[in-house]
């Protein structure tokens, strides 16, 4: 599960970086920045949903603050 969460974070950061790249390169002439940010939102929602489902199914357990 840790690998899946780490991979999701990497995808989210990569999408954010590509949005920044497209923003600087295209100067607002295309929709590639919007698409990259939409993918980032989608990856974030998918990660949040995966964490909620994993908790409900007992795949992950909260550890609390020590």
Domain range for 35 = 2-57
Express each pLDDT in 17-62 by its tens digit.
999 999 899 877 888 899 999 999 999 999 999 999 999 999 888 8
- How many whole angstroms from its chain centre is CA 35? 14
pTM of the model: 0.79
* pLDDT value, residue 1: 84
29 within some domain: yes
65 within some domain: no
SS (H, E, C) the chain: CHHHHHHHHHHHHHHHHHHHHHHHHHCCCCCHHHHHHHHHHHHHHHHHHHHHHHHHHCCCCCCCCC
27 within some domain: yes
């Amino acid at each position: 599960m840790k690998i899946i969460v780490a991979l999701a974070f990497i995808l989210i950061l990569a999408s954010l970086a590509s949005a920044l790249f497209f923003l600087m390169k295209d100067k607002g002439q295309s929709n590639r920045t919007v698409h990259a940010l939409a993918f980032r939102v989608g990856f974030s929602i998918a990660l949040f949903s995966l964490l909620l489902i994993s908790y409900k199914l007992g795949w992950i357990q909260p550890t609390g603050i020590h």
